[in-house]
Amino acid sequence: MQTQKEDVITPQQAGTLHGLFVERARRSPENAAYRYFQQDSWHDLTWREMLGEVARWQSALLRENMAAGDRVAIMLRNCPQWVMFEQAAMSLGLVAVPLYVVDRPDNIAYILNDAQVKVLLFETDEQWQALRTVIGQLGCVQRFVSMDKIARNGDPRLQCADEWLPPQATLQPERERKRDELATIMYTSGTTGKPKGVMLSHHNIVYNACAGLQTFPIRTDDTWLSFLPLSHAFERTVGYYMSMMGGSTVAFARSIPLLAEDLKIIRPTILIAVPRIFERIYNAIHAKLEAAPPLRHKLFTLTVDVGWDRFEYQQGRAVWRPKLLLWPVLKHLVADKVMGQLGGRLRFSISGGAALPPKVSRLFIALGLPLVQGYGLTETSPVVSVNRVDNNYPSSIGPPLPGIQVRIGEQNALLVKGPCNMLGYWHNPEATKAMIDADGWLNTGDTATISESGHIYITGRLKEIIVMSNGEKVPPANMEAAILRDRLFDQVMVHGEGHPYLVALAVLNPEVWLQFAKEVGVRADMPEALTDSRVQAGVLKRISDNLHDFPGYANVRRVLLLQEPWSIENGLLTPTLKVKRAKVVEKYAAQIKELYDGH
pLDDT bucket at 191, cuts 50 / 70 / 90: very low
CA angle 265, 311, 394 (to 5 degrees): 80
Tell me the percentage of the chain whose pLDDT exceeds 90. Answer: 77
* DSSP assignment of 300-321: HHHHHHHHHHHHHHHTTSS---
Average pLDDT, the chain: 92
pLDDT digits (tens, 9 = 90+) for 222-244: 999 999 999 999 999 999 999 99
Question: For residue 359, is pLDDT > 80?
Answer: yes
Domain ranges within the chain, ordered by starting residue: 13-30+45-177, 475-596
Question: For residue 52, is pLDDT > 90?
Answer: yes
The length of the chain is 599
pLDDT digits (tens, 9 = 90+) for 524-547: 998 899 999 999 999 999 999 999
Whether the Cβ atoms of residue 188 and residue 196 lie closer than 8 Å to each other: yes
**In whole angstroms, what separates CA 282 from the centre of its chain?**
19
Q: Quick one: pLDDT at residue 2? A: 43
Question: For residue 5, is pLDDT > 50?
Answer: no
Q: Quick one: pLDDT at residue 587? A: 94
Q: Which fold, 13-30+45-177?
A: Rossmann fold (3.40.50)
Question: For residue 6, is pLDDT > 70?
Answer: no
**Considering only 14-23, 91-100, 554-563, 569-578, which range has the smallest mean pLDDT?**
569-578
Whether the Cβ atoms of residue 471 and residue 238 lie closer than 8 Å to each other: no
Q: Quick one: pLDDT at residue 120? A: 98
Question: For residue 61, is pLDDT > 50?
Answer: yes
- Arithmetic mean of pLDDT, 177-203: 85
Start-to-end CA distance of the chain, whole Å, equals 43
Sheet holding 182-189, edge to edge: 158-160, 143-146, 117-122, 71-75, 95-98, 182-189, 195-201, 424-425
Amino acid at 315: Q
pLDDT digits (tens, 9 = 90+) for 269-313: 999 998 878 888 888 888 788 788 999 999 999 999 999 999 999
Q: Quick one: pLDDT at residue 303? A: 98
d(CA 198, CA 577): 35
C-alpha distances out from residue 510 to 53, 54, 491, 502, Å: 63, 61, 12, 25
DSSP state, 151? -
Beta bridge partners of 43: 36
Q: Quick one: pLDDT at residue 195? A: 84
d(CA 98, CA 121): 10
pLDDT digits (tens, 9 = 90+) for 72-129: 999 999 999 999 999 999 999 999 999 988 777 888 999 999 999 999 999 999 999 9
Taking each helix axis from N to C end, the angle separating 358-366 and 275-291, rounded to the nearest 10 degrees, works out to 70
Q: Quick one: pLDDT at residue 465? A: 79
d(CA 483, CA 38): 43
The pTM of the full predicted model, rounded to 2 decimals, is 0.83
DSSP state, 270? E
Q: Backbone phi, then psi, for 549, in 5-degree steps?
A: -90, 0
d(CA 208, CA 189): 22
d(CA 25, CA 49): 9
* CATH 3.20.20.370 is held by the domain 475-596: no
pLDDT bucket at 3, cuts 50 / 70 / 90: very low
C-alpha distances out from residue 512 to 27, 51, 403, 485, 492, Å: 69, 63, 58, 13, 15
Beta bridge partners of 250: 34, 224
Compute the Cα dihedral for 510, 514, 515, 521 and give only its sign.
positive
d(CA 35, CA 43): 5
Amino acid at 323: K
pLDDT digits (tens, 9 = 90+) for 409-431: 998 999 999 999 999 999 999 99
- Arithmetic mean of pLDDT, 351-372: 92
- Arithmetic mean of pLDDT, 311-331: 97
Question: For residue 4, is pLDDT > 80?
Answer: no
Element (DSSP H or E) covering residue 94: none
**Considering only 506-510, 551-555, 556-560, which range has the smallest mean pLDDT?**
551-555
Q: 387-396: list long-range contacts, CB under 8 Å, 24+ apart.
A: 387/455, 388/215, 389/216, 389/348, 390/315, 391/315, 391/453, 392/315, 392/365, 393/451, 393/453, 393/455, 394/356, 394/358, 394/361, 394/362, 394/365, 395/358, 395/457, 396/451, 396/455, 396/456, 396/457
